[in-house]
Amino acid sequence: MTVAGTGSAAPAPLACDRNSLAGSVTQRACAFCGSRVILYPIADALHLVHGPIGCAAYTWDIRGAQSSGAQLFRNSFSTDLQEMDVIYGGEKKLGAALRELIARHSPKAAFVYSTCIVGLIGDDVEAICRSVSLDTGIPVIPVASEGFKGTKKTGYRAACDAVYRLVGTGDTAGLPPVSINLLGDFNIAGETWVIRDYFKRMGVHVVATLTGDGRVDAIRRCHGAKLNLVQCSGSMTSLAKMLEKDHGIPFRRVSFFGIEDMSAALYEVAAFFAPQDPGLPGRTQTVVREEIEKLMPELRRYREKLAGKKAAIYVGGAFKAFSLVRALRTLGMATALVGTQTGDKDDYEMLRRMCDPGTVIVDDSNPLELAKFCLEKDVDLFIGGVKERPIAYKLGIGFCDHNHERKEALAGYVGMLNFAREVYASVMSPVWQYTPRRAQRHAPRHHEEAAA
pLDDT score recorded for residue 26:
54
> CA separation (Å) from 56 to 36, 77, 78, 149, 307?
10, 7, 6, 19, 44
Q: Are 65 and 41 in contact (CB under 8 A)?
A: yes
The 10 Å CB-count burial string (b at 16+, else e) for 397-407 is bbbbbbbbebe
Q: What's the distance, CA 126 to chain centroid?
A: 28
Could you tell me the sign of the dihedral formed by the alpha carbons of 207, 212, 213, 215, in that order?
positive
pLDDT single digits (tens) 134-167: 999 999 999 998 875 456 678 889 999 999 999 9
**Amino acid residing at 23:** G
> CA separation (Å) from 39 to 65, 107, 314, 325?
11, 14, 23, 28
Helical H segments across 213-331, by residue range: 216-220, 233-247, 259-273, 280-306, 318-330
CA separation for the pair 192, 198 (Å, rounded): 10
Could you tell me the sign of the dihedral formed by the alpha carbons of 163, 167, 169, 173, in that order?
positive
- CA angle, 61 as apex, 56 and 62 as ends, to 5°? 95
pLDDT score recorded for residue 15:
60
Helix (H, G, I), strand (E, B) or coil at 380: coil
Strands in 134-185 per DSSP E: 140-144, 179-183
pLDDT score recorded for residue 451:
42
| Predicted TM-score of the model (pTM) | 0.89
Give the gyration radius of the chain's Cα atoms.
23
pLDDT score recorded for residue 56:
82
CA separation for the pair 196, 231 (Å, rounded): 13
CA separation for the pair 280, 263 (Å, rounded): 14
CA separation for the pair 286, 179 (Å, rounded): 20
Strands in 95-223 per DSSP E: 109-114, 140-144, 179-183, 205-210
- Report all structural domains of the chain as residue ranges with CATH numbers, in order of start: 2-13+295-437 (3.40.50.1980), 31-150 (3.40.50.1980), 179-291 (3.40.50.1980)
**Amino acid residing at 146:** E
Helix (H, G, I), strand (E, B) or coil at 351: helix
Average pLDDT for consecutive 10-residue bins of the chain (452 residues)?
53 58 54 89 96 80 84 91 94 98 98 92 96 98 79 83 97 97 95 98 98 97 98 87 98 95 97 98 98 96 96 90 95 96 86 93 90 94 92 93 88 97 95 77 46 42
